[in-house]
Amino acid sequence: MSKAGAKLFVILQSLLPKRLISGLVFRLTRLRLRWFKNLCIRAFCRLYPIRMDEALKPKIGDYASFNEFFTRELRPGVRSLDGPSARILCPVDGTVSQAGQIDGQRLLQAKGRSYTLTALLNDAELAAVFDGGSFATVYLAPYNYHRVHMPVDGTLLSMRYVPGALYSVNPSTVNGVDNLFASNERIVCEFTTAVGRMAQILVGAFNVGSMATVWAGDVTPRKERSVDYRRYDVQQVHLARGAEMGRFNMGSTVIVLFEPGAVCLDPAMAPGRAVELGQTLALTGVQARPGAG
């Protein structure tokens, strides 16, 4: 997309009733009219390079709705989720938007644009935990697999729903809207792991009618537009490395945060690189040091 086209796209989004349109998409994608969902799925498969051979259910007729197709499960063994415990897994299929060290409190969004941890997490105390740590931001295009998995074994500490806008999170918008990820609706999931605390943030977007976690079900859409913070000290939620932790019901972005010194990001996590669930996101700090192991 040209610079002029990208700018026009951003302006158009600011004028559209994004929440109303996203709500309509939410309802349409869940319709269980056979002819309608088949029509939508076939059109989608013609528009995007969908790899149905990887799906647990490879036939269009196997899905009751478009949303069921969109959040389709992968066949066992299609992604490698094994390997040494020092290997931190990429949690999704997608394209790396940015990755690297957190510069004090700031994360890079795009060239010339950054945002703060406190704004992203909506929690200054939690932001201090990751100050100077590592991060990776991965964009999920419409054709990608849309379930989100655990990079490492973890125990859930808290979940925070933060209301916000619903701008698209495609590259044109990322390059054109300040503080995009800290402005959009999002779910912040905090875990304790063998490498310290980790946060995995699911960022909502235009046409993302719903985001869900395996422990809470659908977290969005919701009528109440206020911050919802929940601790999980009593209700223990343990998730193994590679286990599903959530899903997007349309395309969006995942941001993963690690404490300072906890991990060394893999060089393959470079902006613009296509990545898959299960490939190496990082190595633990001990294993990553020269001469270790």
- Within 8 A by CB and 6+ apart from 70, the residues are 29, 146, 249, 250
Q: Specify the DSSP class assigned to residue 291.
A: T
Q: Which of 251, 187, 249 is nearest to 219 (CA)?
A: 187
Taking the alpha carbons at both ends of the chain, their separation in whole angstroms is: 46
Report in angstroms the alpha-carbon separations of 219 from 118, 139, 222: 22, 20, 7
Per the annotation, the verdict on 252 as an active-site residue is yes
Question: 123, 134, 146, 149: which one is catalytic?
Answer: 149
C-alpha pair distances (Å), 122 with each of 162, 165, 249, 259, 269? 7, 14, 24, 17, 26
107 close to 288: Cβ distance less than 8 angstroms? no
> Of residues 93, 146, 183, 266, which has the active-site annotation?
93
Phi, psi of 45 (to 5 degrees): -70, -30
Catalytic residue, chosen from 172, 210, 252, 266, is: 252
Of 176, 169, 184, residue with least CA distance to 11: 176
> What is the DSSP code (8-state) at residue 249?
S
226 counts as catalytic: no
Number of Cβ within 10 Å of residue 216's Cβ equals: 18
93: annotated active-site residue: yes
Q: Would you please indicate which residues are annotated as catalytic (active-site) residues? A: 93, 149, 252
